[in-house]
């Protein structure tokens, strides 16, 4: 286990993920998995005539990619217990096939709950494209183990 316990997070702590390029395979596979075959995602000719001029990645695909990029940071490997919520999520700009996105996380809250073996971590998630433009933002809340939980398991 290489993740952090709730006591190791500090309000204001900022972390960055590596980049990830959004591929056509990502969009096609997500269309199939989700059932969302909107032509803005699946039809290059249709999307080319749209105000955006090209196909876009699904907003919820990019939201899912945020969770994967967060995992790549590694702070919750083996210490995350459960996702508790996603709040105030905004789809600020479109993400296009070929864009490379990175995630910036900022700790908003980190506290032990009334159950001393777990805590609540709230992080602002800011997903940006290769131009540094914010494309999605919101809050993710995760239940995280405490040091006490680790000691009890040992």
pLDDT in tens, 9-35: 999 999 999 999 999 999 999 999 999
* Eight-state DSSP code of residue 73: H
Once rounded to an integer, what is the mean pLDDT over residues 84-101?
A: 98
Separation CA 69–CA 24 (nearest Å): 18
129, 11, 24, 141: which is closest to 87 by C-alpha? 141
Predicted confidence (pLDDT) at residue 154 exceeds the cutoff of 70: no
Sorted by where each starts, the structural domains of the chain and their CATH numbers stand as 6-153 (3.10.129.10)
Alpha carbon 26 to chain centroid, angstroms: 15
Q: pLDDT tens digit string along 59-83?
A: 999 999 999 999 999 999 999 999 9
Once rounded to an integer, what is the mean pLDDT over residues 38-63?
A: 97
Predicted confidence (pLDDT) at residue 126 exceeds the cutoff of 90: yes
Per-residue burial over 42-66, b if 16 or more Cβ lie within 10 Å, else e, is eeeeebeeeeeeebbbbbebbbebb
**Residue 141: band (very low, low, confident or very high) from pLDDT cuts 50, 70, 90:** very high
Q: Give the pTM.
A: 0.93
Contact 31, 56 (CB under 8 A): no
Q: What are phi and psi of 38, to 5 degrees?
A: -50, 135
């Amino acid at each position: 286990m290489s993740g952090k316990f709730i006591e190791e997070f500090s309000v204001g702590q900022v972390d960055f993920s590596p980049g990830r390029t959004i591929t056509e395979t990502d969009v096609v596979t997500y269309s199939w998995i989700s059932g969302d075959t909107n032509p803005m995602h699946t039809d290059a000719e249709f999307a080319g005539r749209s105000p955006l001029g090209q196909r876009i990645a699904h907003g919820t695909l990019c939201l899912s990619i945020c969770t994967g990029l967060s995992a790549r940071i590694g702070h919750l490997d083996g210490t995350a217990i459960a996702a508790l919520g996603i709040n105030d999520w905004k789809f600020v700009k479109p993400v296009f096939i070929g864009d490379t996105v990175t995630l910036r996380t900022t700790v908003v809250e980190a506290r032990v709950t009334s159950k001393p073996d777990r805590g609540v971590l709230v992080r602002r998630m800011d997903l940006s494209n290769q131009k540094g433009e914010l494309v999605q933002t919101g809050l993710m809340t995760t239940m995280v183990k405490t040091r006490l939980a680790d000691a009890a398991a040992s």
